[in-house]
Amino acid sequence: MKVVMIGAGYVGLVSGACFAEFGASVTCVDVVQEKIDALRDGVMPIYEPGLDLLVKKNVDAGRLGFSTDLASEVPKADIIFIAVGTPTRRGDGHADLKYVYAAAKQIGQHLNGYTVIVNKSTVPVGTASQVSRLIAEVNPEADFSVASNPEFLREGAAIGDFMRPDRVVLGIEDTRAEKVLRELYRPINLIEAPILVTNWESAELTKYAANAFLATKISFINEIANLCEAVGADVHDVAKGMGLDARIGKKFLHPGPGYGGSCFPKDTLALIRIAQ
């Protein structure tokens, strides 16, 4: 199976290397020539434990390559993942989808034969529908399906999270796409990880809802920490007492400086904008 990954950043590179480890033939495409040159030389643009060894292993095996030429890679693909950035749009807090839409238009120009186009980027509800519309406008004769497949990777544990996920979420609208994606994720079935098949909108919202809930747990325990200081309680004991309840769970109940990173701040803000 031929996979093209548009975007060789954190999500795209980790996902591409892991799909290659599954046995797929993967090409990661990026517009930054320096990044592609560095990857070809074995230099990673990000730090993720074990990623350099995984990339080298699959490059040496001939299953993983890198390119800046999307036009030549799209016609050969069975599945194309869009894994580009969706930063917060300046001024209003919405997710900026210009890179996603630009990728969709480029894909549409070069499709050849049935292809599944998958949103791997974190995108607002309705994006899959827009991607489908844009591709159809660019190439009315194209034979394609669009799917949503959000990632749930933690920095520092991304390879393990990909290879042994809590779940895989697939937002699809037709059985052809489901068949192709289940085949790609077949190694996941061997470890009996749940694969949730739903519609586009549910898959897109699942990512935002999950991140917002985790951010809520962090903020909540920090507020409880302030209350503990005021009344003389030990927040660590309180958090342990809460976390032993299976309905709550012990993860993300550690008081600290608050949530941050590359995802939680932008995703919580984007979810607010979606709700508004």
Hey, which bits of 199-256 come out as E strands? none
Residue among 251, 253, 265 nearest 225 (CA): 253
Distance, first Cα to last Cα, the chain: 41
**Strand arrangement, sheet containing 79-82:** 64-67, 25-29, 2-6, 79-82, 115-119, 144-148, 168-171, 195-198
The three-class DSSP label of residue 25 is strand
Annotated catalytic, 18? no
Residues facing residue 82 across a β-bridge: 6, 119
User: Which of 145, 158, 155 has its CA nearest to residue 17?
Assistant: 158
Please give, one letter per residue, the 3-state secondary structure of 77-141: CCEEEECCCCCECCCCCCECCHHHHHHHHHHHHHCCCCEEEEECCCCCCCHHHHHHHHHHHHCCC
Catalytic residue positions?
Answer: 263
